Amino acid sequence: MYPEMKGEMEEVGDMFASMGSFTAAFGMDRLNFGTLLGFYAVECGNILGLGGAFFAALCGIAVLSKEEKEHTAEFLLTHPVSRARIITGKLISVLLQIVLLNAIVFGLSAASIAAIGETVPWKELWLMHLAYFFLQVELAGICFGISAFLRRGSIGIGLGIATMMYFLNLIANITESAEFLKYITPFGYTEGADIVLNGELDTGLVVLGLAFGVIGIVAAYCRYCKKDIQ
């Protein structure tokens, strides 16, 4: 898309910059949409951020509850393995899927930028994708914990959590009085504008977000190890 639009990006950037709250919601008031970094941070950032969040949420929300929903617990839990080991194996599988997704997307993104004749902004690209990775780990951890409390599974809950977090960040961008929402949603530390302009991630928000994910994982162990499996 970028090579085709590159010649008209300045006009497009001016148009977006004058759209008020819509511009602020996506951080386009602080980025030049006509540059590769600005385009990538806004266009790809929203696609990869939201898409990656859906992927992580779906992986986390189904991995434990599906044993009861699909009646595979009757086979799995009769083997001589502890529930803690089962949870650990499932958690590792979720994390490996997230790592694999990000490795593929990062490689394709860098290769695509080079293929269209642009200089790859390695630092910014790395930081943005690292932020997406942390976001996905956090959401997967939260949904993993919720999955331990479900018996029938619910894709809707996972998608709903990811969508809610996304819109909380948009609200925080639009309204100054709602900036505290940045401490709740993982999308708060994946803002492309902040990463490009500051050249670093907000460590405080990242640590807080990962703490939420860890709490979800701990809750999964506590609940599933004592759960009465139907």
In this structure, is residue 180 part of a structural domain? Answer: yes
pTM of the model: 0.87
Residue 45 lies in a domain: no
Residue 14 lies in a domain: no
Q: At what angle do helices 155-174 and 122-147 cross, to 10 degrees?
A: 130
Give the count of domains, the chain.
Answer: 1
Copy the structure tokens of residue 11: 């006009």
Long-range contacts of 197-204 (CB under 8 A, 24+ apart): 197/30, 199/123, 199/124, 199/127, 200/127, 201/127, 201/130, 201/131, 201/134
Q: How many CA atoms lie less than 13 Å away from 210 in the CB half-sphere? A: 10
Mapping DSSP to helix (H, G, I), strand (E, B) and coil, where does residue 144 land? helix
Residue 8 lies inside a defined structural domain of this protein: no
- 116 part of a folded domain: yes
Per-residue pLDDT tens over the stretch 148-202: 888 776 788 899 999 999 888 888 878 777 888 888 999 889 888 888 888 899 9
Please determine, for residue 216, whether its predicted confidence score (pLDDT) is greater than 90.
Answer: yes
Crossing angle of helices 122-147 and 203-224, in 10° steps, is: 30
On the question of pLDDT at 116 being above 60, the answer is yes
- Domain range holding 113? 53-224
